[in-house]
Structure 1
Amino acid sequence: MSKRLFLLLVAASLAGTPAIAKTVRTDTIRITPMEAPASGTIPVEDSLTAQKDPSADDNAPLEEPAPAETYPLPEVLYDPSLLPTPVARMRSQLLDAAISGDIERLRMVLESNEVPPTLSLIEIGDPIEFLKESSGDPDGLEILAILADTLDAGFLHADVGTAQEMYIWPYFARYPFHALTADQKVEMYRIVTAADFAEMEAFGVWLFYRVGIGKDGTLHYFVAGE
């Protein structure tokens, strides 16, 4: 048999022989719930446990945060008989001039004042002319109505015992808006509109007219604005 024929026979026999499956060894790896930590490290769970006070009661109720510091609401006054005589006199003179419908009568009250009262946050000329210009009508009747309504509202005795001690109308000028009740807002809407109040609430300050009279009867201001 030639060598070539022998090789052909060997190749033919190998072609008909099934392939031998190769066995792969596998090992089962068991994963423990928690392996021992490396030196110098603490698992998260142990870290939290370590920070916890061992004497703490898990069932103890959470402590309530300390309440914010609160202040008593200003006392609102309505009775004019509670006013000192000089204050009551000035208020009466202003009211009489306002309901008269003659703005010139207000000039006499202003000129009799110890000092020129503040009527604007900017410099003005003649006070009566300024009030007329600030009014919605040429005769200043609207501004007189505002003055009368302001002085008819509740008032506050503010800054007692200081150099700024004063009686202030309306009390909304120094009263926290968030504390106003429904009936107090009705009082307020007799002076301003809901739109006016919404604007002032956005600024957080009373921007409409207010009157301040010192305990000695001096009219310090009849002014609008911040």
Structure 2
Amino acid sequence: MRTGKDISSRIPLAPVLLAVGIAAGSMLSASSAYALSELQKIPGQPDAPATAQQSPQQPTAPQTGSPGIPQPDPLVNKDSGQSVDKTPGASDDSKPVEVIYDISKAPEPVRKMREQIVEAAASGDLERLRPLMGTGADQTQVTVGEPTDDPIGTLKDLSGDPDGDEILAIMLDVISTGFVHVGQGTPEEMYVWPYFAEKDLKSLTPPERVELLRIVTAGDLSDMQEFGGYNFYRVGIAPDGKWKFFTAGD
């Protein structure tokens, strides 16, 4: 009987070695080809297939200022010349705002109405404002939008306390500031407190910021500057002495 040893001794050695060498060479060639396919992202590789990835030879878009990619618009357009919340009869924003502190420069009916508002608010009795507010179409506006049948009740609801003391304090603070005369020569002509309603809040002087901070908090001021304008309470009185509004705009 022939054994495995006998069979192996009969196989010529040279052809075996040659076959082993050819097989090893084939494996090495396949491995090299695979490796080259993995190096297709190396710069200068001539036969690299196109992929979804960006080739290093292609110019990359600059981080900023690219003409092909529009930059996002700012939340507040500083150059638009438009106020986010306009007081009725407001003047052109491109013109400087004249702030008035001397109440004697206002017409006598305006001075009288302002004095009556101050006296009523200082009394702590919200009902004392009712006779000053008129009725019907001439009723003082206390909300933005639809008019209310009961302005005093609305003001009490807006106050942080059940008696309306907070809203009276706000009214006193607002009407104690400087004011502006807007809408001259138009049906919307009136005198408006505080003057911040017509002022660029980012251009306030230090004394003006202190004056505004008597009405609002520092956080409120920061929000208003980001928002683009004053959006707290304001008082408007027409030249004939009618109390037009006491509203907060946003």
Question: TM-score, normalised to structure 1's length?
Answer: 0.66
**How far apart are residue 199 of structure 1 and its match?**
1.4
Amino acid in the other structure paired with 1:225: G
Deviates more, 1:92-101 or 1:122-131: 122-131
Matched, 1:119 2:151: no
2:121 to 88, 98, 102: 98
Partner secondary structure for residue 121 of structure 1: coil
Equivalences for residues 25-174 of structure 1 within 5 A = 71-111=94-134, 115-123=138-146, 124-174=148-198
Partner secondary structure for residue 235 of structure 2: strand
Amino acid in the other structure paired with 1:118: Q
Instruction: Verify the 8 A CA contact 2:197 2:230 in the aligned structure 1.
Output: yes
2: CA distance, partners of 1:149 / 1:163: 27
Instruction: Verify the 8 A CA contact 1:113 1:219 in the aligned structure 2.
Output: no
Partner secondary structure for residue 138 of structure 2: coil
Q: Structure 2 stretches of 5 or more lacking a match?
A: 1-80, 82-92
Q: Which residue number in structure 2 is paired with residue 58 of structure 1?
A: none
Partner secondary structure for residue 133 of structure 2: helix
**How far apart are residue 121 of structure 1 and its match?**
1.1
2: CA distance, partners of 1:225 / 1:179: 20
Instruction: Verify the 8 A CA contact 1:114 1:218 in the aligned structure 2.
Output: no
**How far apart are residue 114 of structure 1 and its match?**
7.3
Q: Which residue number in structure 2 is paired with residue 178 of structure 1?
A: 202
Amino acid in the other structure paired with 1:206: Y
Aligned structure 1 segments of 4 or more residues deviating by more than 4 angstroms: none
**How far apart are residue 122 of structure 1 and its match?**
3.7
* RMSD (CA atoms): 2.1
Deviations 1:125-169 (A, max 9, x none): 411111111001100000001111111000001122222111000
Task: State the percentage of identical aligned residues.
Answer: 47
2: CA distance, partners of 1:214 / 1:113: 16
Q: Which residue number in structure 2 is paired with residue 205 of structure 1?
A: 229
Instruction: Verify the 8 A CA contact 1:166 1:215 in the aligned structure 2.
Output: yes
2: CA distance, partners of 1:109 / 1:72: 33
Amino acid in the other structure paired with 2:142: L
Partner secondary structure for residue 111 of structure 1: coil
Q: How many residues align?
A: 159
2: CA distance, partners of 1:78 / 1:113: 32
Deviates more, 1:200-209 or 1:116-125: 116-125
Instruction: Verify the 8 A CA contact 1:113 1:218 in the aligned structure 2.
Output: no
2: CA distance, partners of 1:110 / 1:71: 33
**How far apart are residue 224 of structure 1 and its match?**
0.4
1: CA distance, partners of 2:186 / 2:161: 39
Partner secondary structure for residue 167 of structure 1: strand
Instruction: Verify the 8 A CA contact 2:132 2:243 in the aligned structure 1.
Output: no
2: CA distance, partners of 1:222 / 1:82: 21
Q: Which residue number in structure 2 is paired with residue 188 of structure 1?
A: 212
